[in-house]
């Protein structure tokens, strides 16, 4: 079910946002700059997601976006959180997660028939907020545990997205009957 993918995406985004707090001033890292960069990378992420959806298809674009976000979190678990490579991975991962977030709302809108489309989007939004509520429970866990847990969820969501049907170039479904 496509809405089930959204909490995974939300968890991946939250994990990447939390990792900006790993910045240590004693190592020359400015937390405010890190958070600004983490926020600003959303704009190109939304654009990349929109373009990728039209070029390679919705399913592959969403899968790639989720895999990039999840993989970056998994790689960050093995790195020094204050290093430049960790910052680069954080930004690339956030770009992938932002790209996936655009696509996460595109799937329910294109998969479900007109009669239940708004309800499907509502359910997708409900699951997204569930992911947002659950992630702060990890705030007290060690950063490595958070990176591995949320990176695994993101990578699993990216792989499971490949099971969804491709809708690029197809007309929106109009009837609730199964074909």
DSSP per residue, 129-148? HHHHHHGGGGTTS-HHHHHH
Summary count for the chain: helices (H), strands (E): 7, 0
Specify the pTM.
Answer: 0.77
Average pLDDT of the chain is 79
**In Å, what is the CA distance from 83 to each residue of 24, 94, 124, 144?**
10, 17, 36, 15
The residue whose two tokens read 């992630």 is 135
* Residue whose pair of structure tokens reads 């895999």 in the numeric block: 67
Separation CA 174–CA 179 (nearest Å): 12
Q: Does residue 61 register a pLDDT over 90? A: yes
With cut-offs at 50, 70 and 90, classify the pLDDT of residue 1. Answer: very low
Ranked by mean pLDDT, the top range of 51-60, 118-127, 161-170 is: 51-60
Rg for the chain, CA atoms, rounded: 17
166 or 95: which leads in pLDDT: 95
Q: Would you state the pLDDT for residue 10?
A: 52
pLDDT at 177 over 60: no
pLDDT recorded at residue 24: 61
Place of tokens 């990378």: 41
Instruction: Evaluate if residue 141 carries a pLDDT over 50.
Output: yes
23 near 9, Cβ under 8 Å? no
Tell me the pLDDT band of 101, cut-offs 50, 70 and 90: confident
**Cα separation of 38 and 162, whole Å?**
27
Chain segment 62-92, per-residue pLDDT in tens: 999 999 999 998 998 888 766 778 888 888 9
């Amino acid at each position: 079910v496509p809405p089930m993918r959204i909490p995974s995406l939300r968890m991946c985004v939250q994990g990447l946002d939390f990792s900006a707090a790993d910045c240590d001033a004693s190592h020359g890292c400015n937390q405010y700059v890190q958070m600004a960069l983490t926020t600003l990378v959303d704009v190109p992420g939304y654009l990349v997601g929109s373009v990728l959806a039209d070029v390679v298809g919705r399913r592959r674009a969403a899968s790639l976006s989720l895999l990039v976000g999840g993989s970056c979190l998994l790689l960050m678990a093995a790195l020094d959180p204050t290093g430049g490579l960790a910052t680069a991975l954080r930004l690339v991962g956030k770009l992938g997660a932002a790209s996936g977030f655009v696509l996460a709302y595109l799937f329910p809108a294109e998969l479900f028939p007109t009669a239940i489309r708004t309800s499907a989007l509502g359910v997708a939004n409900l699951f997204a907020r569930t992911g947002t509520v659950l992630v702060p429970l990890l705030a007290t866990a060690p950063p490595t545990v958070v990176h591995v847990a949320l990176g695994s969820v993101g990578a699993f969501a990216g792989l499971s997205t490949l099971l969804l049907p491709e809708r690029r170039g197809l007309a929106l479904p109009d009837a609730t009957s199964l074909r």
